[in-house]
Amino acid sequence: MNKKLRKTVIAGNWKMNKTPAEARELADAIRPLVKDAGCGVILCVPYVDLETVLKAVKGSSIQVGAENCHWATSGAFTGEVSAPMLTSMGVEYVILGHSERRNYFGETDETVNKRLRAALDAGLNTIVCVGESLRQREEGVTNEHVTIQTKIALGGVSAEELKRVIIAYEPIWAIGTGKTATAEQADEVCGTIRGAIAELYGRAAADAMTIQYGGSMNAKNAADLLARPNVDGGLIGGASLRPADFAEIVKAAGK
């Protein structure tokens, strides 16, 4: 982390978990544990839980995000949710391009860019995910891969709009597997992403960019990961469903 240059943000990604009643219970448990957070805290939750969680965290510093949005504002896209629908509810953030969306639902770099364009146009803040597969890491193309993903995702995004973008580096091989990139590996790739930002927007913009690590960060490894200069927070999966663990990560990010 480098808090003198950029904001540290911990975002929970609840994925496809929690009914509205369960979401209320979880949000109520998390809220007092992070009330003195020294970093940004976001809860990204399923669509059906958004209204419940927005009410549960009202008046706190916790912000609420969705887990995806469509690139169209409306239309014949059964089952999809648009960015204006999210902002109309008071949602402030949206995750885009998560590896599970890419792997299971056909997301591409190009559709991530279209979704990002729609989200920014609607006034949302965004968390854009990039990351390599195990094969890509083994073949030594990690840096090239995440650089391409980053540049395509940000196509057409202005320097001013970039201020509403967070990049989350999530190595696919570490998502939900219990495996975690070493702190050195995470810092190296986050640094590569920062280099790509510098190529597109200049060094000052790159230095101001929040870049999270999103591969199985937990209460035990968070402090080590967050101590690295290019790791500015975390996109937290499983640990975000456990209030005490999530609070420990937030605490580590606040130091």
Q: Which residues are the active-site residues? A: 98, 170
Q: How far apart are the first and last CA of the chain?
A: 10
CA–centroid distance for 74 within its chain: 25
| Number of Cβ within a 10 Å radius of residue 169 | 30
> How far apart, in whole angstroms, are the C-alpha atoms of residue 252 and residue 231?
12
Q: Say if residues 210 and 233 touch (Cβ distance below 8 Å).
A: yes
Could you tell me the two tokens for 230? Answer: 């290019």
Q: Say if residues 115 and 71 touch (Cβ distance below 8 Å).
A: yes
Give the contacts of 107 (CB within 8 A, at least 6 positions apart). 97, 98, 101
